[in-house]
Chain A
Amino acid sequence: MPEPTDPIAERMRGTTGLGRLLAEADSVWRSRAEAGDADPEVAAWRPFEDAFPTFYQFTNRPPR
């Protein structure tokens, strides 16, 4: 049985420039973590709870 394909992943892998954009985003998240009390070694979003009402609709928010 063939491995299932993921058309979205295929599109991402074929998107020139995505790697550069992700590297920039990672740098932003790392800077944010350094500015806050999160682990500066972990590039991350601000804790969900900091802006809760703004984010409540996101059922797939990252786990803690």
Chain B
Amino acid sequence: MSSRDGSAGGAAATARWTGMRGLAQVPSYVILQPTTLCNLDCAYCYLPFRAADRRMPVEVAAAVAATVNKWAERAPRYSVVWHGGEPLTAGRAGLAALMAPFRGVEHHVQTNATLIDDDWCDFFTAHGVRVGVSIDGPSDLTGQRVDRGGRPAYDRIMRGIAALRRRAIPFAALCVVTEPRPGLAVRLYDFFLELGCYALGINVEEHEGVNTRSTAYPEQSVRAFWAELAGAWRAAPRIELREIEWALRYAGATLAGAADELLPRQHDPVPTIGYDGRVVLLSPELAGFTDPGYGDFASGNVRETPLYEIVAAAAAHPGGWVAEYLAGVEACRTSCPYFGFCGGAHAANRYFEHGRFDGTETDHCRNSKIRLLEGVLDHAGAN
């Protein structure tokens, strides 16, 4: 067995990776926060201001659109993602006003689904909005999704999803898994097959933001979870299962001698535009936080500077925490044999786990990258 957890890779093994060097000048998508408010209060949520309704003014959206519309003209497809808080708490009129300045883009929402009804379905159809819902499996596994009164949100989530299905609106799903372990994966996958989503992402809980719960799960439990999930997908591959298919794609490229071609040449800067116009690059999870050393993590504000200038300046002359992060990526490149699969530990995970950006391996790396790949190989080797 060759596991990062158990054995090693070393600099000589990894220096050949050529992707993920520096920041691209143009992102392939942007994330906007129409409101900080969420109508739920999930136990593992990282968002600091989810009880406050701080809304994005239309002027901020218009300032973003002034740049994004030009980027979209030069791309085959361009995504604008409305992420919260819970974006639907901005209301249909509010969201429509924020979307109005954009041209030639595809809109997406990631929603807890509790507010979805026929009127929202009409809205999604009218605006061509692609929908991602957040649900963690059957009612007991979704039990950490609660409202401010501590009441389970499961029934409301399922009502919203029923509306999507009734109206034949396709949806993807994101599932947070706490304590991955054997026995869980098959149950989850069967649930999502029944739910009717066309794509599924599994987010192992992360130690991030205001969620300070430990995510140092046992290696064998996590590997067994991923191995079991690989088997479940293999038996019924009707859902596009992000993690398993991603690992298989990497394995196929590796055996074909083409693994280095999978990583993008540069990091996508992934600008997240907060409700107030502040732009945080690379990790949406950092938006809204401040640190005595790093400040508010913002690279600028679209109320003062065009978005394209903010991104281009950070790409040309990365400074502050972004420069530290890029140094961290180089440390990953030369020390981790999984770099070609991963592309480097995510910025928010580095910060919230290590307190800085130039460390390397995180719990998130172990749970969601290393043990994922090893678990899929475990499954392949046993079948």
Binding site for B on A (CB under 8 A): 4-13, 15-22, 24-26, 28-29, 32, 45-47, 49-64
Contacts and interface: CB of A to CB of B under 8 A. Distances in A.
Interface string B337-355: 1101111101000000000
Interface string B228-248: 001000100100101001101
Nearest to B132: A53
Nearest to A43: B252
B341 A60 contact: yes
Nearest to B29: A52
Contacts of A21: 230, 234, 248, 379-380, 383
Interface string B346-383: 10000000000000000000000000010001011111
Interface residues of B, number: 69
B281 interface: no
A8 B10 CA distance: 12
Contacts, number: 158
B335 to A, nearest CB: 13
B132 A54 contact: yes
Contact of B240 (A45, A57, A61, A63): A45
B255 A54 contact: no
A29 B240 CA distance: 9
A22 B252 contact: yes
Given A22-B252, A60-B343, A50 B377 contact: no
Contacts of B1: 11
A4 B110 contact: no
Contacts of B267: 59
Given A13-B255, A51-B132, A59-B346, A18 B380 contact: yes
Nearest to B267: A59
A59 B343 contact: yes
A4 B13 contact: yes
Given A17-B382, A60-B263, A60-B264, 9 more contacts: A6-B16, A9-B254, A18-B251, A46-B240, A52-B81, A52-B130, A53-B110, A55-B199, A61-B264
B262 A52 contact: no
Nearest to A32: B240
B373 A8 contact: yes
Top 3 A-B pairs ranked by shortest CB distance? A53-B110, A53-B132, A60-B343
Nearest to B370: A8
A16 B16 CA distance: 26
B83 interface: yes
Nearest to A49: B77
19 contacts: A8-B337, A8-B338, A12-B254, A15-B380, A18-B251, A22-B248, A22-B255, A25-B248, A49-B29, A49-B79, A51-B130, A52-B29, A52-B81, A53-B130, A54-B132, A56-B29, A59-B264, A59-B343, A60-B264
Given A10-B2, A50-B199, A53-B108, A17 B383 contact: yes
A32 to B, nearest CB: 7
A60 B130 contact: no
B249 A51 contact: no
A26 to B, nearest CB: 7
Contact of B377 (A11, A19, A47, A55): A11
Given A4-B13, A10-B2, A18-B255, A57 B77 contact: no
A54 B199 contact: yes
B40 interface: no
Given A12-B255, A53-B108, A64 B342 contact: no
Contact of B83 (A12, A24, A53, A60): A53
